Amino acid sequence: MMGKDVEEVSASLVREYLSRKGLKKTIARMDEELPRTNSSINNRSDLRRILHLEDFRDLLTAINIHLLHRLSESSVSQVIVPSRTPSEIMRKSFAVHPDSERSEYCSSSSQDSLLTVSKEGFPSEKKVVDTDSQKNRSSRIRRGIMAGPIASPFTGDECSQSDMISVLSCLIQALKEIIFGSPLACFTEEWKQQNFTFSDTPGLKYGIVQKKGGPCGVLAAVQACVLQKLLFEESSNDSLVSNVLRTKCLSQALADILWRAGNMKRATVAISLFTPVGRYKSDGILEMITYVTMETLDDLTSVLEQHIRQFESGPFGCILLTVSAILSRTIATIQSDMDVPTSTLIGAHGYCTQELVNLLLCGWAVSNVFDDEMKLDSGNGNFTLLKGIKAHCNIGLLSLFEHYNICKVGSHLKTPKFPIWVVCSESHFSVLFCPSEDLATDHCREEEFDLYYYDGLANQQEPIRLTVCESFPLDSDLIPPLELCIRTK
């Protein structure tokens, strides 16, 4: 194609991308600054024919690849050169668990060929790393170009377009299997609509609002981490909680959650919205997510600050964090964390499982809340290993299930580093906290103290303060569930 033709094709690809995103105002502005001409390509069929693409899915992938290659040309801070094609990598990386039909998304055991998820969303092997200066990388982040490992562009014999589609399809299906247990399942409307929007109610500006039931476990975990930042790192009370401050604390809280999930070594962020093939049901969300991997906490925080609006006010904020945490921990590691590798992170009715809550609070997707590990004698000299919380956490957890002797919450969660607890009561997660950090270390000396309770789903109009003392009656049929949870402490 001649230069003018290339320009028209590029303009048409950009318009198609903007149309897919629903950015009508941006398209109108583009038409003002770059008016359409008689040679402009205004028909989708004509665009497919010029690009020699067979169907609409190929067109979507071409747009994705075109934009990602353009981005990589100007923003490569760490170039990862794969030694094999993505299809070969995926054959090595996906294995069937001996006890299930679920495919595992796992990393190589070799330190020299660490499998990572790149910005393009497909795995690549870390072979050669060329790092720019920290100053240059930070300036790119501020300008809106994401830093971190991204795969080098594939051309010619290295990888075909169908290979890339196959790799991305496998990744999305693996995500759905670990989240739902089936690639045919989709996120409910409650999850799709949920983000991390703060309340504007006086006295509750620190609170994240839950719109409908379902993702309360994610919201409560994030709420607790935000309170940690506000109360004990920013030393703020509600009268001083500005929009800027709470957004900053949200960014830092999400960074801490993902950095823990990545074992304090790396983290992956799903920040943006490829159509998969095969036996699969699309929900229009996972298909359009872009992944960025960072290897320092500073880079992670910078990227989250740049894209925090997607989490705070975008329609899929809760889903983006969940996917980010999964990819930061990696699917294979999450499966090894669980007592049963076929467990899921979202259970019946769209509720969060304990594995997902533990992943966000502690960085491990373990299935239990007791301390360390427990061995159960299975007979004939065999033991079943149950995994719990490995160390003291910043945020704690109290459960109504413990009151009914269904589970045992260990001291690693009951006595956290900060006096903040996620409360599991009657199929719902909420938050209990104390503004005084001394309670975390001197709680045994306190005969009476105040706790504050926040439930993002309860449409609170004012703070709820609870005074805890040792003089309450031991038995009563009228004791509310929240008090029963506090008594387990």
Q: State the catalytic residues.
A: 216, 428
CA–CA distance, 52 with 267 (Å, rounded to integer): 38
| DSSP-based three-state secondary structure for 277 | coil
Contact call for residues 483 and 401 (beta carbons, < 8 A): no
Around Cβ 442, how many Cβ atoms within 10 Å? Answer: 11
CA–CA distance, 207 with 461 (Å, rounded to integer): 11
Between β-strands 396-399 and 420-425, what pairing exists: parallel, antiparallel or unpaired? parallel
CA dihedral 304, 309, 315, 316 (to 10 degrees): 0
Contact call for residues 319 and 272 (beta carbons, < 8 A): no
Separation in Å, CA 338 to CA 86, 192, 261: 28, 26, 14
Assigned token pair, 375: 């061995």
Distance of CA 195 to the CA centre of its chain: 12
Taking the alpha carbons at both ends of the chain, their separation in whole angstroms is: 72
In the block, tokens 């795995």 appear at: 123
Find the DSSP H helices in 44-187.
Answer: 44-50, 56-75, 86-93, 134-143, 161-179
DSSP 154: P
Find the DSSP H helices in 22-100.
Answer: 24-33, 44-50, 56-75, 86-93
CA–CA distance, 421 with 401 (Å, rounded to integer): 15
DSSP 112: G
3-state secondary structure 288-356: HCEEEEECCHHHHHHHHHHCHHHHHCCCCHHHHHHHHHHHHHCHHHHHHHCCCCCCCCECHHHCECHHH
CA–CA distance, 454 with 220 (Å, rounded to integer): 9
Assigned token pair, 213: 């039931």
